[in-house]
Copies of this chain bind each other. A is one copy, B any other.
């Protein structure tokens, strides 16, 4: 099948399919006489694997590692799990940061009148965060 059919079936854009091939995440696709790339069901499966893995937030580098493990019938599941857990830890770290940011933002927004008046605790904080503000003192 043509690239656009593979794209439709896998949910990966044609552009990205070509890109993945160019960075060697994918084996070079078979070509028809006219130079068109030609895909089979197995290729679509690989593309779906990539799509799913990307959707779970893995980087393309990690996708590559997972693909290799997937293809290796003798892989130790330990390695897959290790990759997954590293990624989980990364997401958890980022979530934690976002939670802290959200807490701050909600707090600031809550205290802002949000009307025609110009005084605004949000801007006040951006200019001089509460966390760094303290009683005046001489240096």
* A interface, CB within 8 angstroms of B: 45, 48-49, 52-53, 55-57, 66, 69-70, 72-78, 80-82, 84-85, 87-88, 91-92, 94-95, 98-99, 101-102, 104-106, 108-109, 112-120, 122-123, 125-129
Contacts and interface: CB of A to CB of B under 8 A. Distances in A.
- Copy tally for this chain in the complex stands at 2
Contacts of A125: 52
Given A70-B123, A76-B118, A118-B77, A102 B95 contact: yes
Contacts of A123: 66, 69-70, 80
B113 A77 contact: yes
A124 to B, nearest CB: 10
A29 to B, nearest CB: 20
Contact of A77 (B57, B66, B94, B115): B115
